[in-house]
């Protein structure tokens, strides 16, 4: 069962999937759910308990709704497909094929052992909606979780500060943030000025890290992602290595 201690530990230490030593980070708002079955949510919590980062495949094998993305026929997950397309276009200087995107999702994304990518979530509690009506954690007797609004007010600012510190410590080559709703939070996490490159797409570069901010995929054509990649590639390519697929 999901206990208050289990929830509290996830709030305190969990950040996502893959390795913090990976050169490429994909940073989103929170982990989505394809099901609100409490038994599946319990599996998700148990699989990541006590971990800062988990393996997106090997640690999650008991969760069929999650593992479908990593088993034949390897369907492409909606959000991952979008951010992987952008990443592969940026580093390979060409539009990726569907099979290249599928191969990256299947074997590289969030792979802890391979250490090529990290899938980071600013907010640690999985949710299937951003609405109060879908809030799943009110009954766990944890400070700040009576409502989704209270959760955000209690934990978001401290997570922003901590994520900034983690980036400063691990210094990924490339960090791709997705969601315009969290643009102000991304600015704080990144800690250096972002500049608009094209509509709703931002870029910044420190001595060690290239930072990109893109929208979530709803209503944004891939052509705009590719245009953004083409515009920033000359500035950030010196810090980015192409992915290893095995």
Query: What is the model's pLDDT at position 239?
Result: 60
Question: How many beta carbons lie within 10 A of that of residue 111, not counting itself?
Answer: 23
Strands 201-205 and 195-198: antiparallel
Mean pLDDT of 102-116: 97
150-157 CB contacts, 8 Å cutoff, 24+ apart: 151/123, 151/125, 152/123, 155/11, 155/123, 155/124, 156/122, 156/123, 156/185
* List of domains in the chain: 4-239 (3.40.470)
Q: Which two tokens stand for residue 179?
A: 């969601």
Q: CA separation (Å) from 213 to 98, 175, 232?
A: 23, 9, 12
Query: CA 191, CA 45: separation in Å to the nearest integer?
Result: 31
Query: What is the model's pLDDT at position 52?
Result: 98
Determine if the peptide bond prior to 73 is cis (ω within 30°): yes
Query: What is the model's pLDDT at position 128?
Result: 84
pLDDT tens for each residue of 149-168: 999 999 999 999 999 999 99
Query: What is the model's pLDDT at position 168?
Result: 97
SS3 198: strand
């Amino acid at each position: 069962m999901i206990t208050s201690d289990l929830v509290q530990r996830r709030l305190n230490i969990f950040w996502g999937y893959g390795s913090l030593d990976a050169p490429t980070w994909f940073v989103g708002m929170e982990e989505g759910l394809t099901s609100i079955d409490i038994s599946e949510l319990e599996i998700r919590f148990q699989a990541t308990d006590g971990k800062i980062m988990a393996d997106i495949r090997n640690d999650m094998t008991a969760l069929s709704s999650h593992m479908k993305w990593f088993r034949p026929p390897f369907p492409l997950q909606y959000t991952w497909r979008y951010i992987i397309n952008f990443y592969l276009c940026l580093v390979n200087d060409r539009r990726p094929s569907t099979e290249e995107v599928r191969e990256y999702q299947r074997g590289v994304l969030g792979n802890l052992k391979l250490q090529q990518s990290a899938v980071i979530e600013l907010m640690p509690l999985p949710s299937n909606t951003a609405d109060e009506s879908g809030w799943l954690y009110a009954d766990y007797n944890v400070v700040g979780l009576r409502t989704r609004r209270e959760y955000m007010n209690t934990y978001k600012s401290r997570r922003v500060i901590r994520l900034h510190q983690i980036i400063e410590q691990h210094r990924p080559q490339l960090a791709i943030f997705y969601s315009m709703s969290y643009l102000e939070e991304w600015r704080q996490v990144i800690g250096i000025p972002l500049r608009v490159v094209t509509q709703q797409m931002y870029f910044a570069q420190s001595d060690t890290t290239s930072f990109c901010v893109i929208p979530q995929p709803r209503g944004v054509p891939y052509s705009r992602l590719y245009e953004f990649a083409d515009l920033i590639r000359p500035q950030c390519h010196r810090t980015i290595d192409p992915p290893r697929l095995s």
